[in-house]
Structure 1
Amino acid sequence: MTPVHPAPRSTPRPTARPTTRAPRRLAAAGLSLGLLAVGVPAAAAAELPGVDEVVSSANLRQIANVPKQGPFATQTAFGTDMAFQGDLAYVGNYEGFTVYDIAEPEQPRIVSQVVCPGSQNDISVYGDLLFLSTDSSRSDSSCSSVPQAATVESSWEGVKVFDVSDPASPRYVSAVETKCGSHTHTLLPDEDSRTAYLYVSSYSPAPTLPDCAPPHDLISIVEVPLDAPEQASLAAEPVLFPDGGFAGGPHPDGTSTRRATEGCHDITVYPAKDLAAGACMGDGVIMDISDPLAPRVIDRVQDPNFAFWHSATFNDAGTKVVFTDELGGGGAATCLPTVSDEFGADAIYDITGAGDDRALERRSYFKIPRDNGTTENCVAHNGSLVPVQGKDIMVQAWYQGGISVWDFTDSSEPEEIAFWERGPLSQTELVLGGSWSAYYYNGHVYSSDIQKGLDVLTLKDPATASARSVHLDRLNVQTQPETGERGGGHGWGRDGDRGHGGHGGRGDGGRGWPRG
C-alpha cells in the first residue's frame, strides 16, 4: 500500500467570502472508499447546504439558468460537454445536443435541439461543422438508431458530422465508425489542407466485442475535409503504447483500483505548440503532433494516487499540464473528510527540458477545500483556463462539488480563489448530477449541469479582471487556444491560421457507470 502524504490545503483569498462549510479533514494513509457509505459527522452535516441551495464566494455569481427541456428533460438525459463559436454555445446531452444563443449572457435562449441519442455526445464545432461522439452501441449510425448490444458485429459507435451553417436547423451529414466507439474526440484543424482531424479516444475492450477487441493501445484519427464533410473517413490508428501501457494495480485507498491502460479517455491539443497531452486511464502522456496523423509520445508518467487519468489542460505558456483523476468514475462521493486530498484531485505537472527531452514532473495536487455529503457525486472534472496574462488560472467542474476557480501560477502551491455550488439533488440517495463542464468564454463562466441545464456565471475578481478583454471567435476547450502572447485569441487552427467561417467536450458509453 502506497503511503499518502497530503498536500497543504488551500483556502479562498480574502476577495472571496469564506465558506461556512466544514473544512475537509485529510484522510490518514489507507482510508478507503468503502467509508463513503458512512455519513459525515452531525456537526459537519448540519453545515452542508440543503437540496438545491446555492452557496458561493462573493466573486462568482450565477446570472442565468436555462433548464433542460423537451426530450432532454429526463433524469437519464445527462447534460455533457460544451463548445462555443461566436455568440452560440453548443451543449451535448446523452439524447443529442442543444444550440444556445448567448449574445446576452444574462438571457441565453435555445435556438434548436437535435435529438440524436448516443452517449455521451461529446461535442466540438468548427465553422459550419459540428462533431459528435457516440460511445454507446447503436443499431446504426443514424439519429433514429436504437440501442444494440456491442457483441453484435453490425452495431455502430463512432463520430457523427453535422452541418450547422443554419444553427436553427442543423443537418446530419456523415458518420465514421471507430474502434471501441468515440468516448471523446479532440479537434485538430489544419487550414492549409482544409482538413479537420479528430483524435478519437476510446477504451474498455473485451474479447467478446468484435469492434473493440484487445489489445486497444491506440487512438483513432478521423479526417474530415472541410469542403466535403460527407467524405469523412478513418485516416489512422496510431499505437501510443506499444508495450501495452500501465498494467493496473491496487489504489492506496484500499478498495479502488488503478485502471490499466486500454486506450485514452481524453486528449488536449495545443496546435500553436505542436503539442498534445493525453489522459489515458493508467498513463499521462505528452506528444509531438507536428505530423497530425502520427502523434509521437515524448514522455509518459504514472501517478500512485491516480485511479483513472481523465483529462488534461495546458497552461498558456505550454510549460505545465493539469491532469485530473476521476476516482469513482464520476459517480461516487469522493469530496468527503474520509478521502485524501490527493485522491480524485488535480495533479499539476511542470514540463521540463526541451524537444524530445521534455519530461513531466509532478509538483502538487489540488482538490476543492470543502466537504460534500455522501449523496453528492464529486470529483475533479472538465475545466478551462481563465485567460489572464502572466498567470495560470483555471475554472473547473466538480460535478455536485460545484465550480471552482483556482490559481496554479505557483505549481507547488495552488489555491482556490472562487467557488459556486448547489446543494445535493437529494439528501437520501445519490442522484448523478452537478456540473459536467465549466468553461470560461468571452467574459463569463458557462456550466453544463447534468440535471439542471445551462448555467451562466460572472467572475469578478482582481486576479482575473484582465480576462474580460480577451475575445475568442471559437472555443473547443480540448483544442487549446494561445491567448497570452496576443492578449486575445481567435480559435486558431494549425500554424496560427484563422478558423473557417462560422456563426457569431465527457459516461462510460454503455460499458458501465456514465464516466464523463
Structure 2
Amino acid sequence: MRARTPARRGLRRSAALALTAAASLAVGLLAPATALADTPPSDSITSDNVTHVTNVPKPEAVRSVNSDLAFTGDYAIGGNYDGFVVYDISEPESPQVVSEVLCPGGQGDVSVSGDLLYFSVDYPRASDECGAPATSTTNPNGFEGIRVFDISDKANPQYVAAVRTDCGSHTNTLVPGEDGQSDIVYVSSYSPSSAFPNCQPPHDKISVIEVPHDAPEDAAVVNEPVLFPDGGNHDQDNLLLPTQGCHDITVYPARDLAAGACMGDGVLMDISDPVNPVVTERITDENFAFWHSATFTNSGDTVMFTDELGGGGAPTCTPEIGGERGADAIYTIEHDGDGPALEFASYFKIERYQGDEQTCVAHNGSLIPVPGRDFFVQSWYQGGVSVIDFNDPGEPREIGYFDMDSRVEEGVQDNDTWSTYYYNGYVYSSDIVRGIDVLRLEDPRLRAAERVRMEEFNPQSQPVYRPGRGNGRR
C-alpha cells in the first residue's frame, strides 16, 4: 500500500494512532493480495451518464490535503488542512480561485451561514491566532475548537472569533437559530487524552456554540449535552474506536431531526430545541467499525449511515472484505408509541473492486435533490464517485460513477476523493490530491434536480428540496 499522509484519517489525535489502527485492521481483515490488485475497476473512467466537466488543481499554497466543502450563492468553500479556499463557481465549467486563507489546524471542516464561515480546528495550536504553530497536547494554553470568519468580501475573508471547545472540533454542523438572528453550531470531537487539559475521558458529549449574526465576536459555548451517559459502545470486537463523542452529525432542521455517527453507535436526535438536542434512538451494527457520517432522505423517513472501515487508511473495496463492511447502511425510521426506531434495510457498497493498492471506503456524500425520489452521490476515496439509487431502501444500486484510474487510462492522476456533493446542477468532488473535480449528471432519472436552486448548502445541514428557487436558508 502506498504511503498515506496522516491527514487522511478519520482518527484525530496523531498520525501514529491513525496508522496503527489502520494497520491492525488490515492485518485482521485483509486476505493476501490477489490478482484483483492489478484489475481495473471497469473498462472506463466514467459511466455513460456522468461527464467530467473540469478539474481545478489545488492552489500551490495548499501544501496539505483537501477536505470538505460548503456552498453559498455562486461560491464553493473548500476546507483543507492548511485553511480554506474560496472558489467562484458562477461558471461551473471554469471555476476560479478567489482567495486562499492559510490558517492550519487539522481537518478544516467548514460550514457557511450568510457572511459567516465556521472552520474546525482539531490539532492543538500554540494560540488561537491563524499563524500559530502546532503545540503539544500538554500545553494548557493550546487552542482547538471553532474559528469564525467574515466572508462578506470573498476576496478578503476576515478572522473575527475563536471558540475553544473540549477536544477541539473534528467536524461542525450548522443549525439555524430559532430566532433567525443567530446560528447554532454542533461541534463533534473525540479521542480524549489524559494528557490534554481540556480533553479528559470520558468524552461522551458534543459542544453547542451560539453565534449572533450581528456580533459573531461574541460566539460562545452555550451547552455541552452528554449523548452517552452509559458510555456508549465499547464492547464490539471490530470497532476502530469505541464510542467517545461523535465523528459527525447531520441535522434536518425542517423536521427537527439529527443523525449522529459516533464511532461505535448511530443515533437519532430530537433537535426541536436546538440548544438542547436529545437522543431518541441509538443503534449498533456488528459490521460497522467506524460510524462516520449520515444523510436523511428528503422525506425524513430513511437515513443512510457510512462506515469508514480502516479510518480512511486501508483498501477495503475487495472481495475479501465483502459488501457489508466499509459500506453504507440504510435504515428506515419507524414510529411507534415509544418514539422513532431505526430499522435496518440494507447495505450498499460499490462493486468496482479496487484491489489491495487502492484506499477505498465509504465517505462523504449528499442527496441529489430530485423531489420525491432518493438518489445519492458519494465519495469513496480512490474508489471514486458513485451515484446511488436507494429508492427501495432494501435494494440500493449504483447507477453511475466517476473513477479516475491510471489502470484504465495511462497517464491520468488517480482520484482520491474526500467529499462529493450536488449543488445547483453540478456535482463537486473535493479530491485530496487532484483539487476540485466538477461533474455533470446526464440521466433522465436525475433531471428534476436541475430545477432545484439553492442559495446556500451545508451538506450536514439538510434543506427540504423543492423545484424552483428559495431552497436553503438565505
| TM-score, reference length from structure 1 | 0.83
Aligned-pair CA distance for 1:192: 2.1
Aligned-pair CA distance for 1:349: 0.2
Give the Cα separation in 2 of the matches to 1:424 and 1:329.
24
Any conservation in 2 of the 1:376–1:424 contact (CA below 8 Å)? Answer: no
Aligned-pair CA distance for 1:373: 2.7
Alignment partner of 1:318 is 2:318: no
Give the Cα separation in 2 of the matches to 1:80 and 1:378.
16
Give CA deviations for 1:323-344 in whole Å, capped at 9, x if unaligned: 0001000111111121121000
Q: Match of 1:62?
A: 52
Alignment CA distance shift 1:489-1:328 (3 Å): farther
Give CA deviations for 1:312-362 in whole Å, capped at 9, x if unaligned: 000000000000001000111111121121000000000001585110001
Alignment partner of 1:407 is 2:389: yes
Residue identity in the other structure for 2:405: G
Give the Cα separation in 2 of the matches to 1:56 and 1:227.
46
Residue identity in the other structure for 1:353: H
Alignment CA distance shift 1:126-1:177 (3 Å): same
Alignment partner of 1:476 is 2:455: no
Any conservation in 2 of the 1:248–1:259 contact (CA below 8 Å)? Answer: no
> Greater RCO between the two (CA within 8 Å, min separation 6)?
1
Q: Match of 1:383?
A: 365
Aligned-pair CA distance for 1:391: 1.3
Residue identity in the other structure for 1:38: P
Give the Cα separation in 2 of the matches to 1:357 and 1:124.
30
Alignment CA distance shift 1:313-1:489 (3 Å): farther
Any conservation in 2 of the 1:221–1:236 contact (CA below 8 Å)? Answer: yes
Give the Cα separation in 2 of the matches to 1:118 and 1:258.
23
Q: Which runs of 5+ in 2 are unaligned?
A: 1-24, 408-412
Alignment CA distance shift 1:403-1:344 (3 Å): same
Q: Match of 1:47?
A: 39
Q: Match of 1:335?
A: 317
Give the Cα separation in 2 of the matches to 1:435 and 1:379.
11
Residue identity in the other structure for 1:466: A
Alignment partner of 1:190 is 2:177: yes
Q: Match of 1:38?
A: 32
Residue identity in the other structure for 2:196: L
Q: Match of 1:461?
A: 443
Q: Match of 2:326?
A: 344
Q: Matches of residues 389-468 of structure 1 in structure 2 within 5 Å? A: 389-423=371-405, 434-468=416-450
| TM-score, reference length from structure 2 | 0.90
Identity fraction in percent: 54
Q: Which is further off, 310-319 or 138-147?
A: 138-147
Aligned-pair CA distance for 1:247: 1.4
Residue identity in the other structure for 1:287: M
Alignment CA distance shift 1:424-1:184 (3 Å): farther
Give the Cα separation in 2 of the matches to 1:46 and 1:68.
28
Give CA deviations for 1:364-408 in whole Å, capped at 9, x if unaligned: 000001110322111000000001122110000000000000011
Q: Which runs of 5+ in 1 are unaligned?
A: 1-30, 252-256, 426-430, 493-497, 500-516
Give the Cα separation in 2 of the matches to 1:462 and 1:111.
34
Q: Match of 2:214?
A: 227
Give the Cα separation in 2 of the matches to 1:334 and 1:227.
47
Any conservation in 2 of the 1:40–1:337 contact (CA below 8 Å)? Answer: no
Alignment partner of 1:108 is 2:102: no
Q: Match of 2:286?
A: 304
Alignment partner of 1:240 is 2:240: no
Q: Match of 2:259?
A: 277
Segments ≥4 residues shifted beyond 4 Å: 31-35
Q: Which is further off, 124-133 or 355-364?
A: 355-364
**RMSD between aligned residues:** 2.0
